[in-house]
């Protein structure tokens, strides 16, 4: 059985440089919150028994998000906010008597992976360390806390840049802000923290100094890929992280046999699964959790908004938007169409400009559309949900369908054609 751990996730900061009223950790990449990426990475290790999220700025909004989406997470308020050490201390009472390992990390690091966290925990336990710091090597370590070692290379301390000497600022090994500690051995350090530093705050890094001072084993774990330590403090960094994430996803899909015509303009979320021989054309944006079969064609200029399941040999044309829909094999959704909250059978043809009108803006309700096998819609059709289009049924171009259309029938609401002769002459006298 995997050893179970508990975690403390720091998510209380305002994120002043984000220039936003929204909490930093609730900003999104591929429509998923930064904090969500961190919580998922922790949970995907298979080790996390309980997660404590430390909230502060926009505390109610962050807690609402956590409570709604994560059963094994609880929020603890940090008020006032007196530094990272003070933040982690907010879970101290919850962890009293816990005899195990506690992982501490930041809620604004969406690029960290479950695989890395698992290796980190295993390295800590296998070396019987009291505390392990995750570090990374950067050619430009500006703004990061530096890992200070003694003459034998042993971990000595972590020094924040604002408190670092000139020689220490030249150190390229930095603190990523991720720690794992044996709670029983190291938790007393939180009761001995002081704010004797340039910022007059309680630094979490002081637990390293305390561990070494008390003769306990402290070590560092150097990241193989320093991109995983990337923290978000500005909208520019948010965009940079999104690009790193999408490149990571595209590299994986390309290796699995998916054709990405133009990786530079294609964005696909890490929660999207795509089978081999599917082609994704340029300027396509796929967010959320989706499952796409083999030999599909998507785009160009297509958008999948999450909750989409495509069978095999499905074609999603240019300027098409799909949301929360299941589409079976050999079905085409042609250009300029919107399909939301729908189920489409196999060998269905959706004509250009077709819309499933699934939302009642007055009642705020959403309804489902079902289009059965071999049915087709003409161009510029509107299917007003809830509605079912039966097997082999056809919808005439330009129709607005607000009732079910039975199998093998034609649904048509088009007004009769009128031709007024001599119109040009009459209107240009």
How many other C-beta atoms are found inside a 10 Å radius of the C-beta of residue 269?
20
**Cα–Cα distance for residue pair 209/237, rounded to 1 Å:** 31
In whole angstroms, give the CA distance from residue 268 to residue 246.
Answer: 6
Would you call 335 a catalytic residue per the annotation? yes
Q: Is 242 helix (H, G, I), strand (E, B) or coil?
A: helix
Nearest one of 149, 150, 120 to 225, comparing CA atoms: 120
Asked if 69 and 151 count as a contact pair (C-beta separation under 8 A), the reply is no
At 281, give phi and psi (nearest 5°).
-85, 170
Calculate the alpha carbon distances from 179 to 41, 149, 189, 243 in Å. Answer: 15, 17, 14, 26
Phi, psi values for residue 423, rounded to 5°: -60, -40
User: How far, in Å, CA of 305 to CA of 27, rounded?
Assistant: 17
Catalytic residue among 124, 200, 214, 335: 335
Within a 10 A sphere around the Cβ of 381, how many other Cβ atoms? 26
Question: 414 CB contacts (<8 Å, ≥6 apart)?
Answer: 396, 397, 398, 399
Query: How is residue 215 written in tokens?
Result: 């003769």
How are the residues of the chain apportioned to helix, strand and coil, as percentages rounded to the nearest 5?
A: 25, 30, 45
Residues forming the active site: 335
């Amino acid at each position: 059985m995997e050893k179970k751990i508990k975690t403390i996730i720091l998510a209380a900061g305002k994120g002043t440089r984000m220039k936003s009223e929204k909490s930093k950790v609730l900003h999104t990449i591929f429509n998923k919150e930064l904090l969500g990426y961190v919580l998922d990475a922790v949970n995907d290790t298979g080790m996390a028994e309980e997660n404590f999220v430390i909230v502060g700025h926009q505390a109610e909004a962050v807690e609402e998000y956590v409570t709604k989406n994560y059963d094994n997470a609880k929020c603890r308020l940090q008020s006032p906010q007196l530094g990272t050490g003070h933040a982690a201390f907010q879970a101290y009472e919850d962890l009293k008597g816990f005899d195990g390992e506690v992982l501490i990390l930041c809620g604004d690091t969406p690029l960290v992976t479950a695989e890395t966290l698992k290796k980190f925990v295993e390295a800590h336990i296998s070396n019987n360390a009291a505390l392990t710091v995750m570090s990374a090597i950067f050619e430009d370590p500006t703004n990061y806390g530096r890992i200070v070692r003694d003459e034998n290379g042993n971990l000595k301390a972590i020094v924040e840049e604002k408190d670092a000497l000139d020689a220490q600022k030249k150190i390229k090994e930095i603190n990523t802000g991720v720690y794992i500690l044996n709670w029983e051995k190291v938790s007393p350090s939180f009761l001995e923290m002081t704010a004797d530093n340039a910022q007059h705050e309680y630094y979490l890094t002081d637990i390293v100094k305390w561990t070494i001072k008390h003769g306990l084993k402290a070590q560092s774990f150097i990241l193989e890929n320093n991109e995983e330590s990337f923290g978000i403090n500005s909208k520019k960094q948010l965009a940079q992280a999104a690009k790193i994430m999408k490149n990571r996803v595209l590299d994986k899909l390309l290796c699995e046999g998916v054709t990405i015509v133009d990786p530079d303009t294609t964005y696909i979320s890490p929660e999207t699964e795509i089978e081999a021989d599917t082609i994704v054309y340029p300027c396509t944006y796929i967010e959320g959790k989706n499952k796409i079969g083999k030999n599909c064609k998507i785009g160009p200029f297509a958008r999948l908004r999450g909750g989409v399941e495509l069978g095999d040999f499905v074609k999603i044309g240019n300027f098409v938007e799909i949301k929360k829909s299941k589409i079976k094999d050999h079905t085409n959704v042609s250009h300029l169409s919107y399909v939301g909250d729908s189920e489409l059978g196999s060998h269905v043809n959706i004509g250009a400009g077709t819309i499933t009108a699934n939302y009642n803006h007055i009642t705020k309700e959403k309804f489902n559309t079902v289009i059965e096998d071999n049915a087709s819609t003409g161009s510029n059709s509107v299917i007003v949900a809830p509605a079912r289009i039966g097997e082999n049924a056809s919808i005439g171009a330009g129709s607005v369908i607000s009732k079910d259309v039975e199998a093998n029938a034609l649904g048509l609401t088009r007004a009769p054609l009128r031709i007024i002769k001599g119109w040009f002459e009459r209107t240009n006298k």
